[in-house]
Structure 1
Amino acid sequence: MKPLDPRLLRYARGTRVYLAATVALGVVLAALIVAQATLLAHGITAVFLDGADVRTLTPTLIALATVVAGRAAVAWAQETVAVRSSAAVKSELRGRLLAHLVAVGPARGGDTGAVTTLITRGLDALDAYFARYLPQLVLAALVPAVVLARLLPADLTATMTIALTLPLIPIFMALVGLHTEAANHRQFRLLSRLSHHFLDVVAGLTTLKVFGRAGAQAATIRRISAEQRRLTMRTLRVAFLSSLVLELLATLSVALVAVGIGLRLVSGHLDLTTALLVLILAPEAYLPLRQVGAHYHASAEGLAAAEEAFAILETPVPARGAAPAPAGTIVFDDVVVRYRDRDALHLSATVEPGEIMALTGPSGCGKSTALDVLLGFVTPDHGRVTVGGVDLASVDPAAWRSTIAWVPQRPYLFAGSIRDNIALGRTPMHLPEPPTAFAHCFTGTVPDAPRPDVAAAARLAGAAGFIAGLPDGYDAALGDDGAGLSAGQRQRIALARAFLRDAPIVLLDEPTANLDTETAADVMAAIRRLAHGRTVIIAAHRPELIALADRIVDLAPQPVGAR
C-alpha cells in the first residue's frame, strides 16, 4: 500500500483540490457512519428492552433515514469528484508530458511505442487510482480514528482489541503489495515493449513482406502477447489471493471483538446498547482497510504508469540559449557524441555558405547523429558547433531551427490533405516531424500557406505530376503516415515542404534510401533544384547522391591512432 505520491501534487495541480474535497467528504462520511451505528443501537435497544412502538421510534427512524440518505449523497459526491479530478489530472499530465518531450528532444524522449502506450492507455489506468484507491485511502485513515474515538468512552476493552488488531491488515497489505507492485511494473514494461515492437513491425511491414519476413515477426508478436497474457493472469492471481488474506484477517478480528462482546454481555458486564454499538461499528473500522487492499490492485497499473510519466518529467531539459540565429560558416569543432560508452559520432568539418557537404560511411557511423547535433536534438559530449563564429549552445533553438529545412529519411505525413501536408513546411520547427504532425492533428490546425505557393513547391519537388493524377488533387486525403502514397511520392512531398520553407540551410537524411532507380533519379533532380543557392548537408549512401557534393566527409570509424 502506498500513500499519495507527492509528485502528483507537483505535476498535477488538480490533485490538490481533489485531495482536499476527498478529505472533507471522508470526515462527513465517518461522522455519518458513527451516527448511523448510534441510532441503530438505540433503536434496537428501545424495541427489545423498552417495547417501543413505531410512533415512539418515528424520530429515530427519520434521523436514520436522513443519515442513510446522507451517506448515499456523500458516496455520489465522492464518485463525481473522483471522476472529474481523474480526467483533469490525466489531461494535465498528458499536456506536461507532451511539452516536456518536445523540450528534451527526440534523443531523450524514449521509445515511441513505450511513450505512446504511456500517454494513452497507461495514464487511463489512473482512473482506478483516483476513483477508488485514493478515496478509500483517506477513509482508511479517517474512519477507524473516528470509530475508535466514539467507542473509547463506551467500551475500553473493545476499543483496545480493535486498536491492536487494526495494524495487522496494513502490515500484511504492505507485504503483499510489494510483490504486486513488482508484478505490475513487469506487466507494464512488457506491454510497452510489445507496443514498441508492434509499432516497428507496422512501420516496416512493406519491407518485411518484400523479404518474406512478415510471418517471423507475427510469430514474435504472438510470443510476446502470450507472455503478456501469462504475466497478466499471474498478477490477477496475486490480487485475488491477497484479497483473500485481507478478508480473512478482517473477519477474524471482527470475530475476536464479537466473542468478547458476547461473553461480557452474557455475564452482565456490558449493556445491550453498548454491545450493539460495538458490533455495528467494529466491521466499519476494518472495512476501509480491506477496501484499500482490494482497490490497490486495481490502481497498481496506474501507479506504474504514473511513475513512468514522472521519470520522463524529471529528465533534465538541455540548457538553451537566447541569442538570435546566426549566419555564416558552419564548423563542427571536434564534436563527439557518445552512446552507451562508445563514440556514436566524431566529427571535425567546415561547411561554407552555399556549399554542399555529403556525410558518408556505413550505417551507424553517425551521419544522422551529426544532423541531430546541428538541429539541437543532441548535445555533444565534447566539442561544439559554431555558425559564423557563434556557439550554437548560446542560440535560441527555435530561432536557429527557423533557418533550417529538414528532410528526414522517413518523412512523416499526417492524416489530412496533401495541401495541408505540404503546408506543414511553413511551421516553425520546434521538434522533429512526427511530433509536429501529431501536434497539428491534436489541435486541429494547419499552417496558413497560399495555394499558389503550395503548388509551386510541389512543382519544384517533382510532385505536381502525381498529385494532378489523384481524383481530388491537392485536396486528396491521406491516411496516417501518408497511407495511399508510395515511398517516392512521400519523399517528394517532404521535399515540397522544404521548398515551401525556403530556408537558407537544408539538411537531407538519406533522401533516396529505399527508392528504385527511376524514382531516385526524380528525387535527385528535385534535390539539385533545392540545393541551388543554399547550404546543404546530406547524409548519403548512394554514389550519385554523393556526387552532388562539393565536399565529402567520411565518418567511417578510423583505426586507433589514425585520427
Structure 2
Amino acid sequence: MSHPDAAADTGDSQVRLRRQLRAWAKAETKTLRLTGWLGLAEGLCIAAFAWGLSHMVSDLFGHPETLSALLPALLVTVGALAVRAGIGLINQKLSLKAARSIIRHIRLDIMGKALAGRIDSAQHQSRLNALFEDSEALEGYYARFSQSELQARVLPLGLLALMAVVSPVSAGILLLTLLPFVALMAILGMTSADESKRQLEALSRLSNLFVDRIKALPLILSFEAGPRQVRSVGHAARDVAERTLRVLKVAFVTSAVLEFFSALSVALIAIYCGFYLLGELPFPSPEILTFPAAFFVLALAPEVYAPMRRLAAAYHDRQTAMAATQRLIALDILPETTPAAPLISAPEIIYQDVICGFADDPDFRIGPVSFTARPGQVIALRGPTGSGKTTLLRLLLGYGHKISGDILIKGESAGDISASIAWVSQNPPILSGTLADNLTLANRAATKADIAQAITDFHLEGLVTTRDKALLHDLNERGSGLSGGERRKLGLARAALKEAPILLLDEPTADLDSAAEDDLIRLLPALFKGRTVILSSHSPKLCALADLVVDIT
C-alpha cells in the first residue's frame, strides 16, 4: 500500500509536467486551439451523417416508388462524410506542423542554454545525448493526444445529449456502459504511465551505451573486449524489448476493454430499439420511438465511443511524453545569475593565481594559473590532454569548481558575462534542423544576409542547397555527413554571428589532419579581429597565432 504523501507527490509531479507541456506549447496555442475546434466540428459531421443515413433508410422503405425522395438525405450523408474527411486531413497536417515547431523550439532553448554554459554538459553528457530522443517523444502528445483528449471530453457528452433528445432510454443505456469503462481506463492509465516511464529509461540507457561503445571502439578492439561489450549491449537491448512488450500488453488490454464496452453498448441499444419497434418489449417504455429515430440513435451509438477509441490509441503518446518531459526538465540547468551588461569592446581579462578542479574529486587540482589577456590579444593555453585547459576556459562561462584565485574582467571580478562570450567547443553541437537554425543558435536576431556572409566567410557553401541561397540544408543532431573540419567551421561561423567581444575556443583543430588544420587556421585571424581571445590547444601551428602562450602542467 502506497503512502498518502507519495501519492500526493505523484499527483503534484503530474500537474507540474502538464504545466510544462502547456508552457512549451504556448507559441503554438492558436494552432492547437484551431485543431481542437476542428476536432469538435467533426461532431457536427457525425450528427449530420447519422441523420442523413437514418432518413435515407426511412425514405427508402417509406417511398420505394420514387428515388427522388432519397436525394436530400443522400446529399447530407455524402456531404457529411466528405467534410469530415477534409477536416480530418487538415487537422492532421496542422497538428503535426505545430508539434514539429514545438519540438524545434524546445531543442533550440536547451541547446542555447548549453551553449551559454547553463547546462553542465561535461557532467551530464549522457542526458544531452538523450535530448533528441526525449524531445522527439513529444511529437505524439502534441500531434495526436492533445486533440484526442479534448474530443474525448466533449464529443461523447454532446452526442449523448443529442441522443437524449431523440431517445432518453438509449442515452441512459449508453451512459451506464460508460461508467465502468471510465473506471477501468483510469486503472489501466496509471499502469501504462509506469511502464512507459520504464521503457523510455531503458531506451535512453541503450542509446547512451551504444554511443559510448562506438566512441570507445578502438580501445575495445585493442583489448579484445568486443564479445563482452556485445553481450552488454545485447542485455540492454533485451531490457528495452521486454519493457516495450509490457507497454504493448497494457495497450492490448486497453483496446480489449474499449471494444468490449463499445460493442456492448451498441448491442444493448440495438436490442432495445428492435424489441420496441416489434412491440415485444417486456416492460413499458416511457418514450415514443419511430423507425428513423431508432436508426439515428443506433448510428450515433458507435460514435460515442469513437473519440475514446482515438484517445486510447494516443494514450501511450501521452505517457511517453510525460516521462520524456520529466527527463528534459531534470537536466541540471545551473542557477541563473543576474547577467552583467553586455560588453561593447574587447576587455582585459586577468587570471590571478587561479586554482580549480572538480567538485567530485577534491584531490585533483589545476594551477595556480596567472596571465593577462589585454584587449584584442590572443592567449593560448597549451598543455597535454587532461591538464585542465578546458576547465580553465569553462570558468569564464560561469561554471566549474574554482578553489582559489580570481578572474577579473576590466579590473572587476567576473560575474555572469555569458552574453559577452562566443564559445566554440571541441565538438560543436549540431541541432536537427537547417543550417540556418544551427548558425543562429547563439544569435536568433541574425538576418539572412548575416547568415549568408558567415557561410561565405567560413567556406560552408557545400552545405547550402542550390534551391535557396539563404541556405537551408537539413542536418541531423549527430552531424551525419559533416567532416570534422566542416563541423568546426560551423562552430566558428556560429561564434562569428554572435559578435561577442570575448572568444573562447577549446581545441578548435583537435583530431583534424594537417590539411584540414591549415584550412581552419586560415579562417581564424578574421574571427579574432576586435576580440579578446583565449584558446586551448597543443597545436604548434595554432599557438603560433597567439600573443602569449601559457603552459598548463
Fold shared by both chains (TM-score > 0.5) = yes
Deviates more, 1:312-321 or 1:173-182: 312-321
SS across alignment from 2:550: strand
Deviates more, 1:135-144 or 1:261-270: 261-270
Letter in 2 for 1:385: D
Tell me, yes or no, if structure 1 residue 288 matches structure 2 residue 288: no
Tell me, yes or no, if structure 1 residue 191 matches structure 2 residue 203: yes
The counterpart of 2:392, out of the listed 342, 357, 371, is 371
Tell me, yes or no, if structure 1 residue 27 matches structure 2 residue 40: yes
- CA 1:303–1:153 in structure 2 vs 1: closer, same or farther (change >3 Å)? same
CA offset at residue 253 of structure 1? 3.3
Paired residues, number: 464
Letter in 1 for 2:315: Y
Return 5+ residue gaps in structure 1 as ranges: 402-428, 452-475, 512-522, 541-563
Contact 1:330-1:387 within 8 A present in 2 as well: yes
CA deviation vs aligned residue, 1:291-346 (integer Å, no higher than 9, x gap): 2112222554345334433444976445432364653642257868634xx64766
Task: Supply the distance in 1 between the matched residues of 2:382 and 2:73 (Cα, whole angstroms).
Answer: 90
- CA 1:430–1:486 in structure 2 vs 1: closer, same or farther (change >3 Å)? closer
Task: Supply the distance in 1 between the matched residues of 2:335 and 2:307 (Cα, whole angstroms).
Answer: 40
Residues 179-258 of structure 1 aligned to structure 2 (within 5 Å): 179-258=191-270
Task: Supply the distance in 1 between the matched residues of 2:57 and 2:398 (Cα, whole angstroms).
Answer: 74
CA offset at residue 89 of structure 1? 2.2
Percent of matched pairs sharing the same residue = 22
Deviates more, 1:128-137 or 1:494-503: 494-503
- Provide the residue aligned with 1:546 in structure 2: none
- CA 1:14–1:109 in structure 2 vs 1: closer, same or farther (change >3 Å)? farther
Tell me, yes or no, if structure 1 residue 385 matches structure 2 residue 406: yes
CA deviation vs aligned residue, 1:210-241 (integer Å, no higher than 9, x gap): 33334432332222222222222332222222
Letter in 2 for 1:295: A
The counterpart of 1:351, out of the listed 370, 385, 396, is 370
Letter in 1 for 2:114: L
Residues 16-415 of structure 1 aligned to structure 2 (within 5 Å): 16-48=29-61, 53-107=66-120, 111-119=124-132, 121-265=133-277, 266-267=280-281, 269=285, 270-271=288-289, 272-298=291-317, 300-312=319-331, 316-322=335-341, 324=343, 326-327=347-348, 329-331=350-352, 338-339=359-360, 343=362, 349=368, 351-353=370-372, 367=388, 370-380=391-401, 385-387=406-408, 390-394=411-415, 396-399=417-420, 401=421
Letter in 2 for 1:394: G
Task: Supply the distance in 2 between the matched residues of 1:450 and 1:58 (Cα, whole angstroms).
Answer: 69
Letter in 1 for 2:428: P
Deviates more, 1:72-81 or 1:440-449: 440-449
CA offset at residue 30 of structure 1? 0.6
Contact 2:397-2:417 within 8 A present in 1 as well: no
Letter in 1 for 2:36: V
Task: Supply the distance in 2 between the matched residues of 1:134 and 1:506 (Cα, whole angstroms).
Answer: 48
Return 5+ residue gaps in structure 2 as ranges: 1-13, 374-378, 440-450, 460-481, 489-508
Contact 1:11-1:93 within 8 A present in 2 as well: yes
CA offset at residue 182 of structure 1? 2.0
Contact 1:323-1:395 within 8 A present in 2 as well: no
Task: Supply the distance in 1 between the matched residues of 2:548 and 2:255 (Cα, whole angstroms).
Answer: 68
CA offset at residue 264 of structure 1? 4.0
SS across alignment from 1:351: strand
Deviates more, 1:61-70 or 1:433-442: 433-442
CA offset at residue 378 of structure 1? 1.3
- CA 1:434–1:358 in structure 2 vs 1: closer, same or farther (change >3 Å)? closer
Contact 1:100-1:313 within 8 A present in 2 as well: no
The counterpart of 1:430, out of the listed 409, 423, 438, is 423
Letter in 1 for 2:548: R
Task: Supply the distance in 2 between the matched residues of 1:309 and 1:276 (Cα, whole angstroms).
Answer: 51
CA offset at residue 80 of structure 1? 2.2
State TM-score, norm by structure 2. 0.70
Contact 1:508-1:536 within 8 A present in 2 as well: no
Residues 481-560 of structure 1 aligned to structure 2 (within 5 Å): 487=511, 489=513, 493=517, 496=521, 500=525, 506=534, 508=536, 511=538, 523=539, 529=544, 533-534=547-548, 536=550, 538=552, 540=553
Letter in 1 for 2:310: Q
CA offset at residue 359 of structure 1? 9.1
Task: Supply the distance in 2 between the matched residues of 1:527 and 1:70 (Cα, whole angstroms).
Answer: 66
CA deviation vs aligned residue, 1:435-467 (integer Å, no higher than 9, x gap): 36779794487576699xxxxxxxxxxxxxxxx
Task: Supply the distance in 2 between the matched residues of 1:216 and 1:154 (Cα, whole angstroms).
Answer: 70
State TM-score, norm by structure 1. 0.69
- CA 1:377–1:213 in structure 2 vs 1: closer, same or farther (change >3 Å)? farther
Contact 1:114-1:193 within 8 A present in 2 as well: no
- CA root-mean-square deviation: 4.2
